[in-house]
Chain A
Amino acid sequence: MVRNDLGSGSIPDWMMKKNEYVPTKDREGFLTKSLLGFLRLFRHFSMRGRGDISVAGAGTELVLTLGMIIMIAMTDSGVFLACAGAGILGVLSFSRIDIMKRALSTSLGVTAFTFVIMLPAFFLYKSLGFLVLSFKVFLSVTALSLLTSVIPWNRITAALRLFKMPNILIFVLDMTIHYILLLGNVAYDMLAALKLRSIGKNKDKVNSFSGILGTLFMKSVAMSKETEDALTCRLFEGRYDAAKTDFGIKDCIPLFTLIIFIILYIFVG
């Protein structure tokens, strides 16, 4: 296995000795935290890779979720909040365990943050309104998180057409998600490589940071040039007409749910 064409031929003395390096402590928070962030991103997308779990149409589920979020924001009725909570938590309790975990990890994080931020308002107003606000935040974020965990991304973006979002923007959005994963993987690999090499003090953290993001930018430019070519080759001239989205019987379930909640809102909200 050992080949003899090693440059000048001989291995330097220091490489023959046992490595006696003792690492010194350093704070590599920026690396670890960034790496964890990317893992979260990949997990989010890989979960979705296992196919379409949703029973209902993406478009109407999006409408239902947004409708609920708006009504939750506007209501000052405890009954309505309780019903919305029953609905959302009910769906959550029947969800697949990984979806449940993901939805809760997002919404509980945001809720905890809100709770801390809003706690001083208690002393300001001597009211527990901040709890209601935290609960509202919890419900909205859980609902949205459930939606994005259950429905594949490409169907969510396609559903945005229902809101009159131009095809071209949806097209760019799809492309963006594609590139977030590509660039995210590149960034993750570079961060991981840097972390493996940063066994001691890295005095110039900012330098390695700018190297990674700078390289990432260059890579993005190169990629965008290639995609531009690919678009030209497939006759793209700034217009994009996508296939029409079908409306099926399964789209009715979310709509029906929404109508019930709207009626409830009108009566108690």
Chain B
Amino acid sequence: MHIPENYLSPATCAVMTAAMVPVWVRAVKNVKTELPKEKISMIGVGAAFSFVGMMFNVPMPGGTTGHAVGGTLLAALLGPDAACIAVSMALLLQALIFGDGGILAFGANAFNMAFAMPYIGFAIYSLLLKLFKAAPAGKEQMTKKLVSAGVGSYVGINAAAFLAAIEFGIQPYLFKDAAGRPMYCPYGLNVSIPSMMIGHLTIFGLAEIIFTVAILAYVLKTSPNLVHGALPTHAEGEKKKRFASMLPLLLAILIAFVPLGLLAEGTAWGEWGSDEIAEVVSDGETLGYVPSGMESGFSLEAIIPDYAIEGVPDIVGYIASAIIGVAVLVIIFRLIGSVSGKKKVHEIEHSV
């Protein structure tokens, strides 16, 4: 789910980040007006909780484990705006600390997991609460809440996965190098959507449900008054407001995607519009396209020459390669040296 560096083009990343800016501004503003200043500490701690929660492996049936994002859970606990900020912070830190998700792709990841997931998950959650006519208290009410949150989280994570799949899938149509090969994610929508969705409709969706329901159940049992939107009336008003404000945003983003094609080099947009799509749609066997000049198979020369453009002294490339070679050797020798002379590696283990 966390989109790594270089899978998306910088242009896509820029668009996704730009799309997130109004969302963040709005979320911060709402958190400030809806909830007074004390929420600064709550968001800080909420983001930390989100980060730590994402680190947990969720126990799954059969002894397997999976990770959850918890966007819907946080929305149910803190409200969707606070959840949006908390998950964004957690994603930024994950990118910086663990390399989970690219730093350029941060905007895209935030769009999927900090915007789509908590807001959609929360909308479903509050819609179901309303349908079930859940009252604030009572044991039966708890089941209703858990079911609503479970469904919300499942839809939420799948919506996020679907968006990620679209972001991946449009890359090969839009961004190609001089030789016509995709520069970023090489898989089109026909591959990206099924491969993302199969995993999320099954195992990751389940992990998300377990994560959400298990924790929400615990909190509802021990201190129900901590749950945001525990009152359906409150949630209902909010939900309407959110849907109304989300629609134009989504539209704006879709519109923003269109000129992206113009940014792409060459005739990518045209190709994609005519024969390519036809190929993809009409012929299930053929995946993608074979760029001209590449039909005769590949050779090493086919990769390198395009990367060394004429007019640049080859010497630069040679020197750079030489430095890489030496650096790699130094790294390997130093690593070997440190393993054989294993000493103070453990002193840092748990000293925080």
A168 to B41, CA, bound (A): 11
Query: Chain A residues with Cβ under 8 A from B96's Cβ?
Result: 144, 148, 156
Residue B232 at the A interface, CB < 8 A?
A: no
Residue B103 at the A interface, CB < 8 A?
A: yes
Chain A residues packing against B (C-beta within 8 Å): 26-27, 29-31, 33-34, 37-47, 49, 66, 69-70, 72-74, 76-79, 81-83, 85-86, 89-90, 92-94, 97-98, 100-101, 104, 106-107, 109-110, 113-114, 118, 121, 124-133, 136-137, 140-141, 144-145, 148, 156, 168-169, 171-173, 175-185, 187, 205-207, 209-218, 220-221, 223-225, 227-228, 231, 236-238, 264, 267-268
Query: Chain A residues with Cβ under 8 A from B178's Cβ?
Result: 76
A205 to B97, CA, bound (A): 28
A238 to B90, CA, bound (A): 21
Residue B320 at the A interface, CB < 8 A?
A: yes
- Among residues of B, the one whose C-beta sits closest to the C-beta of A133 is B6
| B6, B183, B351 pick with most chain A CB within 10 angstroms | B6
21 residue pairs of the A-B complex, CB under 8 angstroms, read: A29-B57, A29-B65, A34-B57, A77-B308, A81-B307, A85-B320, A110-B99, A124-B288, A132-B307, A137-B4, A140-B104, A176-B44, A187-B52, A187-B55, A209-B56, A209-B214, A210-B218, A214-B217, A215-B218, A217-B226, A228-B40
Task: Give the 8 A-B CB pairs with smallest separation, nearest first.
Answer: A78-B307, A214-B218, A210-B214, A27-B63, A179-B48, A175-B44, A86-B323, A82-B320
Residue B102 at the A interface, CB < 8 A?
A: yes
Within 8 A of A (CB), among B121-166: none
Within 8 A of A (CB), among B307-336: 307-309, 312, 316-317, 319-321, 323-324, 326-328, 330-331, 334-335
Residue B294 at the A interface, CB < 8 A?
A: yes
Q: Check B182 against A238 for contact (C-beta < 8 Å).
A: no
Q: Check B222 against A180 for contact (C-beta < 8 Å).
A: no
From A70, A148, A213, B56 is in contact (CB under 8 Å) with A213
- Among residues of A, the one whose C-beta sits closest to the C-beta of B184 is A133
Q: Check B5 against A185 for contact (C-beta < 8 Å).
A: no
Query: Chain A residues with Cβ under 8 A from B211's Cβ?
Result: 213
From residue B20, how far is it (CB to closest CB) to chain A in Å? 13
Q: Check A121 against B55 for contact (C-beta < 8 Å).
A: no
A75 to B330, CA, bound (A): 27
Given the known A-B contacts A79-B309, A82-B320, A83-B316, are A231 and B56 also in contact in the complex, defined by CB atoms under 8 Å? Answer: no
Within 8 A of A (CB), among B3-58: 4-7, 9-10, 13, 28, 32, 37-38, 40-49, 51-53, 55-58
Chain B residues packing against A (C-beta within 8 Å): 4-7, 9-10, 13, 28, 32, 37-38, 40-49, 51-53, 55-59, 63-65, 77, 85, 89-90, 92-93, 95-99, 102-104, 177-178, 181-184, 186-187, 210-211, 214-215, 217-219, 222-223, 226, 287-288, 290-291, 294, 297-298, 300, 302-304, 306-309, 312, 316-317, 319-321, 323-324, 326-328, 330-331, 334-335, 338, 345, 348-352
From residue B187, how far is it (CB to closest CB) to chain A in Å? 7
A236 to B47, CA, bound (A): 20
Q: Check B104 against A70 for contact (C-beta < 8 Å).
A: yes
Q: Check A69 against B288 for contact (C-beta < 8 Å).
A: no
Query: Chain A residues with Cβ under 8 A from B287's Cβ?
Result: 124
From residue B273, how far is it (CB to closest CB) to chain A in Å? 20
A3 to B226, CA, bound (A): 43
From residue A199, how far is it (CB to closest CB) to chain B in Å? 16
Contacts A175-B40, A179-B49, A187-B52 given; 10 further ones with Cβ under 8 A?
A: A79-B308, A79-B309, A79-B316, A82-B320, A125-B294, A178-B44, A209-B210, A214-B222, A224-B42, A237-B37
From B28, B46, B98, B330, A106 is in contact (CB under 8 Å) with B98
